[in-house]
Structures are given as C-alpha cells and as structure tokens.
Structure 1
Amino acid sequence: MASHTVFSKGFFRDQGLDYQTRTVLGRAVHGGSDVGEVLATIDRISDHDSWRSAWTATASRVRAEADDLRQQGDPHGAKWAYLRAANYWACVLESVSELEDEDDLRRVFREHRDCWNSFVDCSGGAHVRVDVPYGDTDLPGFLLRPDATGTPRPTLVITNGSDGTVSGLWGDAAAGAVARGWNAFAYDGPGQQEMLFERGTAFRPDWEAVLTPVVDALVGRADVDPDRLTGYGISQGGYWLVRALAFEHRLRAAVVDPGVVDVSTSWTQPLGHSMRRLLERGERAAFDRDLKFATMLPSLRRTLAFRSRPYRSESDWFDLYKEIEEYRLTDDLAARVTTPVLVTDPEGEQFWPGQSARLAELLGDRAHLVRFTAEEGANLHCQPLGRALTDGRMFAWLNSTLSAARG
C-alpha cells in the first residue's frame, strides 16, 4: 500500500482499529490529541493486545507531563495535556471494555475520568461541574463555558452515544460551541460512562425522561440563556435526542450526527437472513444456539461483550436483541417533534446506513439534511476526520435557526 493512500485504504486491516485511529486523529483539531503522538503510538500496534499496551504507555506518559506542568504553575499547558491524556485513556477503555475483567475496566475508566476532571479543574473556573437531579440520584454533568464571568449565553446540550467518553465530546461539539462564545453542557445519562461503570445503570429508550431533567437543571442558571438552548446528539445519541424532542420542546434547534431511526439494525444486519428470521419468529432456543456458535469468532465475541454491557437484559441473547428493538423512532413519535433538526449524512455510514435520509423524510420540513463526503475528507460514521467541517456547517445552521426564531 502506498503511504499516500492511507486515508482511503485504512490505517489497519481491522476495521475497528482503523475507525478508532481516525477518531483519535480527528480529536487533534480541537486539542484533544496530538498528531505526532497518535502516529507514534499506532506505529507500535499490530493487534488488539498491542493496541491496549501502546495506548496505556502513551496515556500514562502524557498524564505525567500534565501533572508536571500543573506543579510548575502552568495550568493552561496542563489543561490541554490532561485532555489529550483523557482521550488516550479512552482508547484503552474501549479496548478493555471488550474483556471480562470488570476491575481493570473500572481502573482504566477512573484514569480517564481523573484526567478529564483535571482538564476541567485547570480551566480557571470557565468549566464547572453541574450534577443533574435524576430520580433518587443525579447525572454527572459539565458546563463548559468560554470564561468564568457567568454571562448568560446560548447553550448546546450534548447527548452522547452508546460508548463515547465525555472527553470525546469536547472535540465532537463542545469546543466549537465554546470558541463561538456559547456554553456546552455534556453529561452522562443512564448506561453511559460513570453511570455505567461506577453505578451500574442501564440504557433506556425513553430519553425524554433524561433530557427533561437536564433542561430543568439548566434553565434556572444565570449563565444559561433559556431562550437559546439547542441540542446535539452524536452516534446513538442521534436516536435518543430526536426521541426526547417528541416530548421536550424547550430546545430551539438540534443537530443529530448522524440520524438514527432504528438502533437495532446495527445489531441485526450482521446476523444474516436466517438468524434474523429466527428472531422475527420468536424462536428463542434456535436463535441463542446459533448466536453461541457465531460468538466463537473472537471479533464478534469482543464486539458483543462491549456493546451489550449497558443494556438491561441479562438472561439470554434473544432477550437482549428484543430489548434493543425498543430503540426505534416510530412515525407517531416523529410527528410530535416540533424542533428544527439538522441531520448529518456521511458517505459510507457503516452502522446505520440510509437512516439519516429516512429520519429527514420522517421529519419533513423540520429537517435539514447535510451530506458529508470522502472527497471532503469527511466520510464514515460521525465523519471522524472532518470535525472542523462539521463544526462550520452545524454552527452556521444553528446560528441561523436561532436568529430566525428570535425574529
């Protein structure tokens, strides 16, 4: 392979490792990684085991440098080193999540979250922790502001996907908001990150039960303009956010990156026709038997172990797949959405192909569909190497939509 074709041919033959590499490289545009650090790290990687060891070494080294900078009285330099370290630990976390060692998983998560918390602490008061009351507990939240003045600002409420980390949300949307004089609010919902690894909560399909408490916590703050609240949902958050918008109408505009109508298709499509038929016909024993044989493949076993952890079902594979079928946006729910929604539509979307266009069709004139292409360097799920382009397009639309709403 010629070195100059790596964008189209891939950094690794393994599609998972290749996509993760593109994602962490894309963080560089907002200071969430350093290109040289990423390339030097992947130069030492040949498989999943060496991925874990190489990223552990890089994350540990960058964390130590961040600590040194902080002790030397350079919180600004330390802040950015902590952010990079958090994202490098996130690379380890995703890999460790495929294994069965819960103690190691929590250890890596705590390394990652400690680096993120240090990033927040080194912001000079611009970024603050804002926990959200939720039932008999609270959701960890972070209000990321341009400064510590407390000026009321437009605020982008960010809903994560199924397995993304909060540090990743800085590059996905928060940095673009803060650079434009906005606030960004990032949080862990049930089944996400701290709520999963430390508290053992599970996903829920009815995300309005999550988003409404988040909005409630923000609208009463002096540093949030309640008339300029907007939303952003990335990956599976593209389903959760639109589902919530069917009931929560206080957001003036929203972006989903990409559009997701039926979460379950990313689970059922790889099964093949015969296993999908078993699932449709309710043949539990045959489905569980066939999937048990299928998971003898290490790649599938890793993927399912990683992706099934946040769901409620603990009985068998059949119940898990049936539970995931609940994560679907129906025509009736879509009809209840009144918020204008920008829907990204990246070329080569590998998890929910065609669903961005389907969501735009369901929403009708409330949707604004925006294509991203390989020619622009912005293809694949959430266009990992096109984040500056994504920022430009989505914030131009958000500003325009807010202006129109205010007359």
Structure 2
Amino acid sequence: MAVLLSHGNKVISDGFFRDDGLDFQTRGVLGRAVRGASEVGEVLATVARVRRASDWATQWERTAREVQTEAERARDRGHAVSAQSGFLRAATYWACVVDGLSTEPDTAALKEAFVAHRECWDAVVDCSRGAFVRVPVPYESTELPGYLLRPDTSGAPRPTLVVTNGSDGAISDLWTSAAAGALARGWNAFLYDGPGQQAMLFEQGTFFRPDWEAVLTPVVDTLMARVDVNPVRLTGYGISQAGFWLPRALAYEHRLAAAVLDPGVVDVSASWTRTLGKSMRAALEEGDREAFNRNMGLAVRMPGLRRTLTFRARPYQHEDWFDLFTEVGRYRLDDELIAGITTPLLITDPDDEQFWPGQSSRLAEGVRASGGRADLLRFTVEEGANEHVQPLGRLLTENRMFDWLDEHLPG
C-alpha cells in the first residue's frame, strides 16, 4: 500500500503570501542564504510573524537588531569571521526594513533604517581585515560610494566584475547576486551606488539618469588606474533595472571585455504604463498634463497603488504625475543605441519575468541584428529559478554566468 508522504507543500507555486510583492521579497531574502547574506531559519521565523503588509518593516527590524547585536558582540570579542557573517545578514534584514518603509512618504524612520543598514554593510567591509577597501569614484561635483572587494590583501591584478545595482536594491544584496561568486573564483568585485541609488538617494538627494555612460565611465576610469585591477579583464554585471543602464552605457563605453544583464531591459517604462487605461495613455502621449494628472489623482486613491508609486517614484526627478511618467519614458534603448554595443553580452531570460517580459529576447535579437554578440540564458520553473532575477536560483545564475564570463576573458 502506497503511503502519501507529502502534506501538499506547494509554497514554491502558491507563494509565501497572497500579496505578490511580499512573496517576491521573501523569495529574494531566502535566496541570499546561499552566500550567507541571510539565514533560512531567521527568514522563515520573521515572515511567520508577518500578518499584513504593515508588519513587514516592524518584524524585520526586530530580527535586524537581534542579529546586529550578536555581530557587535562577536566583533568586540575579536571574532572577525563570525562578526562579518552577522553584519552581512543584519545588513540584509535592515534593507528589508527600508523596503517596508519606502512605500510611505519620507520619514525619519526610513532614513534611520537606511543608516543602520549602511552601518552594518560598512562593518562587513571593516571585518575583512583589509581585503575589502572603499574606493570612491569622482562624479561631477561629488563622489559615488564605491567598494572594491578583493579575495585577499596581496594587491595582485585580478579580473574584476563591475556590479551595477537596480532601481531599489541594497548594496548588500549584490553580495549574493555577484560579489561572493567573484571572490570565490579569485576575482575582484566592485560595488557602487550610482545617482538615485541607496546612499546617493538617501544621503545626497540625487536622482536617476538614463544616460548611464556618464556614471559607468568614471567607474571604469577609477578602476583602470588601480594596480590591483587587471585592465584587460574588466567585466560588468547589471541586475534588474541595470539591465537597461548597463547596455545603455555600453553603447558608448567599450572597455569591458564582457557583460551580463540580469535580465535585459529595452524599455523601462513598459512596467509603468502596462496598467494605464486607454484614455490615460492617450493623455500621456498627447502631452495633456492636466488630464493625466487628474486621472492619476483619482487612481492613487487606492491605497495599494499609492504605496507602490510612492516607492517607485522616489528616485526619479519630477514635480507631478505627468513629469514622472514622462521621465520614465526616457529610459529606452533605440536601434541606434543597441547598434553601438560591441561588448559580448549574456542576457538572463527567466520564466515568469514579471516586470519586463520578453525584453531579454528583444535586446538579444537587436544586438545580433547589428552584428554584436548576445547569448540568452534561460531559467525555468522546473529548476526553481523562475521570476525576475531568479530569486531562488542564485547559485545556478552565478555558476552559469561566471562560466560564460571565464570563456570570454582575454588571456
């Protein structure tokens, strides 16, 4: 007689929460455990306490404080490895607090949570015993915060992966996304905040810009001047919205040997305009500011939409709804820009991409049509690596992308 062993464990298909946003965030935090940026038990214990969206920030703050306190205790007793591990996880959990508070207008609590997050990340750097160094990047009249993570303190010139973040990801998220994999292979990883990202948003009040070549080129200049960076083995990785920013920059900046886009993004605004009605689309296209703002004013009476737009709009410079959607509309790759990309590209293409479905293929086809190299990397439901940036398939992503990068490095 067959014995049924399963209780119907369908959390992967049914989700951790009915709220799609909370479910996706939970998957992301769980996925970071594969490189030590979270602990599975801590994540599951925390989300078990979340009953509604408003609980998210409160419960993650509780976990973040507990983990940070233990990390500080380990540091004070001279246990650098344990301290670094704790501070890395605490940075992840404080980033969850920031995410939870970002759906509301700017508050002191939001800024305090970001400061706590960045303090934990800086403690990770300080616990590296000199292997990780701060490398600010000159940018216009200020500097971009930058971190060069190296496998050791030898100063040997190494292959280096320049990691560009997305629209709202924390810098500590990039540890699991790409940095830990680079270090495990004897590479350097360079992480930075661009305009509108993280410290550049919360501390310097800068905004996104579509012309990312103005950002990437100073980064490359800074790294090329360092003896611990091999200048001919410099590569790039762009996650989420950086799937637009990085290829946009590569249309002008040609010094990277190869790059990975996770995923490829041709038109950022598609994820904004998809749900607009015909009349609102027409008002936007025809430049009817008054009609568009009037309709948006009615739409954002829905609390969920208002919270989402508060979160997504913060890094874009705008005065009203019409300005916001017009600005986002500038974030597109046209045929001329795509034709300027000469860097070999690997573009991830997961099942169930929820923000820019089909755009990885569109970008790859455009690059190939102009004579460039673009390989698509599929991820499937069957291997548990579906959805935007494969939140539960990060080791699969890491292994496949670094194998590809190894094969495209000169020498």
2:117 pairs, out of 90, 112, 130, with 112
Q: Amino acid of the residue matched to residue 343 of structure 1? A: I
Aligned to 2:236, the other structure's residue is in SS state strand
Structure 2 residue 341 is the aligned partner of structure 1 residue 334: no
2:143 is aligned with 1:171: no
Tell me which amino acid in the other structure corresponds to 1:99.
Answer: E
Structure 1 residue matching 2:389: 3-state secondary structure: coil
How far off its partner does 1:204 sit?
0.5
Matched-pair identity in % = 62
Aligned position for 2:3: none
Contact 2:65 2:90 (8 Å CA) reproduced: yes
How far apart are the structure 1 equivalents of 2:247 and 2:106? 35
2:72 maps to 1:78: no
16, 22, 30: which one aligns with 1:17: 22
- Aligned counterpart, 1:195: 200
**Which of 175, 178, 185 is the aligned partner of 1:180?**
185
- Contact kept, 8 Å, 2:57 with 2:99, in 1: the verdict is no
The answer as to 2:394 corresponding to 1:387 is: yes
> What displacement does 1:107 show?
0.5
Larger deviation, residues 165-174 vs 275-284: 275-284
Name the CA distance, whole Å, in 1 between partners of 2:124 and 2:235: 24
Q: 1:136-285 alignment to 2 at 5 Å?
A: 136-285=141-290
What is the aligned counterpart of 1:373 among 380, 393, 400? Answer: 380
Structure 1 residues 77 and 223, CA gap change in structure 2 (3 angstroms): same
Q: SS of the residue aligned with 2:172?
A: helix
Letter in 2 for 1:375: E
Equivalent-residue separation in structure 1 for 2:297 and 2:153 (angstroms)? 54
3-state SS, counterpart of residue 192 of structure 1: coil
Please report how far the alpha carbon of residue 278 of structure 1 lies from its aligned counterpart in structure 2 after TM superposition: 2.0
SS in 1 for 2:238: strand
Instruction: Give yes or no for the alignment of 1:322 onto 2:326.
Output: yes
Structure 2 CA distance for aligned equivalents of residues 133 and 202 of structure 1: 17
Residue 348 of structure 1 corresponds to 352
2 CA distance for matches of 1:291 and 1:268? 12
Q: How much does 1:3 deviate?
A: 5.2
SS in 2 for 1:55: helix
Give me the whole-angstrom Cα distance separating, in 1, the residues matched to 2:314 and 2:76: 38
| Stretches (4+) displaced over 6 A | none
Name the CA distance, whole Å, in 2 between partners of 1:101 and 1:276.
29
Judge conservation of contact 2:300–2:306 (CA < 8 Å) in 1.
yes
User: Cα distance, 1:352 vs. partner?
Assistant: 0.5
Q: CA deviation at 1:265?
A: 0.6
- Equivalent position of 1:358 in the other structure: 362
Moved more, 271-280 or 90-99: 271-280
1:399 maps to 406
Query: What's the TM-score, normalizing by structure 2?
Result: 0.97
> Which deviates more, 360-369 or 350-359?
360-369
Report the Cα offset of residue 390 of structure 1.
0.1
1:272 Cα deviation (Å)? 3.0
AA at the equivalent of 1:143? L
Q: Distance in 2 between matches of 1:273 and 1:385?
A: 36
How far apart, CA to CA, are the structure 1 residues paired with 2:128 and 2:8? 39
Return the alpha-carbon distance in structure 2 between the equivalents of residues 89 and 308 of structure 1: 21
91-100 or 280-289: which moved more? 280-289
Offset from partner CA, 1:7-36 (integer Å, 9 cap, x none): 010000000000000000000000000000
* SS of alignment partner, residue 133 of structure 2: strand
> Could you tell me how far 1:102 is from its partner in structure 2?
2.9
Q: Which residue of 1 aligns with 2:66?
A: 61
Per the alignment, in what secondary structure is the counterpart of residue 147 of structure 2?
Answer: strand
**Is the 2:385–2:392 contact (alpha carbons within 8 Å) kept by the matching residues of 1?**
yes
Report the aligned-residue RMSD.
1.1
Matched positions, count: 403
TM-score, length-scaled by structure 1 = 0.98
Alpha-carbon separation, structure 1, partners of 2:216 and 2:134: 17
In structure 1, distance between residues paired with 2:71 and 2:191? 23
SS at match of 2:275: helix
SS at match of 1:344: strand
- Displacement of 1:311 after TM fit? 0.7
CA displacement, residues 325-372 of structure 1 (integer Å, 9 cap, x when unaligned)? 111011000001100000000100000011000000111141001110
Instruction: Write the mapping of 1:130-141 to structure 2, written as runs, cut at 5 A.
Output: 130-141=135-146
Counterpart contact for 2:182–2:188, Cα < 8 Å: yes
Q: 1:259 to 1:148 in 2, by over 3 A?
A: same
